[in-house]
C-alpha cells in the first residue's frame, strides 16, 4: 500500500460513484507486483457510506475479503472500461518507468450484492505485464 485518506470527488469520479461532485470519498493507493516487479498502480475510491472506519483497517490485505468480513459486502455487478494510454507522472514514478510510457488504463466500477455502487478503481497497468484472454458465452435469450 502507498497511502490512504480522504479526497473530494471530481466530476468524473463523482459520476462513476453516483455521488455529488465534491463529495468526500476514501482513496486507497496501492501497487501490485508480479515476480517482484511493480506492474499495477491502482487508486481505489470508496463510498464512505458503506465502509465506516475502513481507513483504520489493515489495507495491505485483500479489499474483497475485508469488504466481506467486516462489512458483509460482496461484489455483484462490475463494469470495466479499458483503453490504451500513456502513463501519467504519478503512476510512472510508482511503476519505475518513464513518464509517458504506454499502459493500459482500466476503470472498474463495482456494485455490491444489492446493486449499490460501492467503489471505483482506476488502474494503470504496465503494457509489458499484460496478457488478456476473453471468452464469451451466448445465452439462450438472444
Q: Which pLDDT score, from 0 to 100, does residue 141 have?
A: 67
In a domain, 136, yes or no: no
Cβ–Cβ contacts within 10 Å for residue 17, how many? 19
**Where are any strands of DSSP class E within 1-101?**
3-8, 24-34, 37-46, 75-86
* pTM > 0.75: yes
Tally of structural domains, the chain? 1
- Quote the pLDDT of residue 49: 98
In a domain, 57, yes or no: yes
Q: Is residue 140 part of a domain?
A: no
| CA 102 – CA 86 distance, rounded (Å) | 5
Q: What is the pLDDT of residue 38?
A: 97
> Residue-wise pLDDT tens for the chain (142 aa)?
999 999 999 999 999 999 999 999 999 999 999 999 999 999 999 999 999 999 999 999 999 999 999 999 999 999 999 999 999 999 999 999 999 999 999 999 999 999 999 999 999 999 999 888 888 888 776 5
Supply the pLDDT for residue 130: 85
Write out the residue range of the structural domain in which residue 22 sits: 3-129
Asked whether residue 115 is assigned to any structural domain, the reply reads yes
Q: Is 94 part of a structural domain of the chain?
A: yes
Hey, which residues does 37 pair with through a beta bridge?
34
Give residue 84's Cα distance to chain centre. 16
Whether residue 137 lies inside any domain: the answer is no
**pLDDT at 142 (0 to 100):** 56
- How buried is 49 (Cβ within 10 angstroms: 0-12 exposed, 13-18 middle, 19+ buried)? exposed
Q: CATH number for the domain including 55?
A: 3.40.1410.10
Amino acid at each position: 500500500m502507498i497511502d490512504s485518506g480522504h479526497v473530494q470527488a471530481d466530476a468524473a469520479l463523482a459520476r462513476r460513484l453516483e455521488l455529488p461532485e465534491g463529495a468526500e470519498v476514501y482513496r486507497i493507493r496501492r501497487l501490485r507486483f508480479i515476480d517482484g516487479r511493480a506492474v499495477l498502480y491502482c487508486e481505489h475510491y470508496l463510498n464512505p457510506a458503506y465502509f465506516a472506519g475502513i481507513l483504520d483497517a489493515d489495507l495491505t490485505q485483500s479489499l474483497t475479503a475485508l469488504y466481506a468480513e467486516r462489512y458483509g459486502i460482496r461484489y455483484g455487478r462490475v463494469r470495466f472500461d479499458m483503453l490504451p494510454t500513456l502513463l501519467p507522472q504519478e503512476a510512472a514514478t510508482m511503476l519505475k518507468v518513464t513518464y509517458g510510457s504506454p499502459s493500459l488504463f482500466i476503470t472498474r466500477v463495482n456494485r455490491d450484492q444489492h446493486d449499490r455502487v460501492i467503489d471505483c478503481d482506476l488502474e494503470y497497468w504496465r503494457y509489458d505485464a499484460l496478457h488478456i484472454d476473453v471468452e464469451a458465452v451466448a445465452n439462450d435469450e438472444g
